[in-house]
Amino acid sequence: MTTTLRIIAMLSMAGFVAAAQAPDPQTLGPKVGERVPDFSLPDQHGVTRSLKSSVGPKGAVLVFFRSADW
């Protein structure tokens, strides 16, 4: 019984510590409408592409969908 209570207490404290150290999501990344610096990433074929090479004359729209369940 005592061991179980200790484990629950330690897990609870670990959860509180993790929540206290989580960064504010509002301060992460660029704001809506803000310009981002040029970056390069590999595409699905392994070829490195830069943002600059993908932007057309009217700009580009980037959509980051973090919750995709593929």
Mean pLDDT of 9-31: 72
Residue 37: pLDDT band (50, 70, 90) is confident
Q: What are phi and psi of 26, to 5 degrees?
A: -70, -20
Between CA 4 and CA 18 the distance in angstroms is: 21
Write down the H helix ranges in the chain. Answer: 2-21, 51-54
pLDDT score recorded for residue 47: 92
User: What type of residue is 45?
Assistant: H
Assess whether pLDDT exceeds 70 at residue 58: yes
**Helix (H, G, I), strand (E, B), or coil: what is residue 54?**
helix
In this prediction the pTM is: 0.43
Residue 12: CB atoms within 10 Å: 10
Q: Are 38 and 49 in contact (CB under 8 A)?
A: no
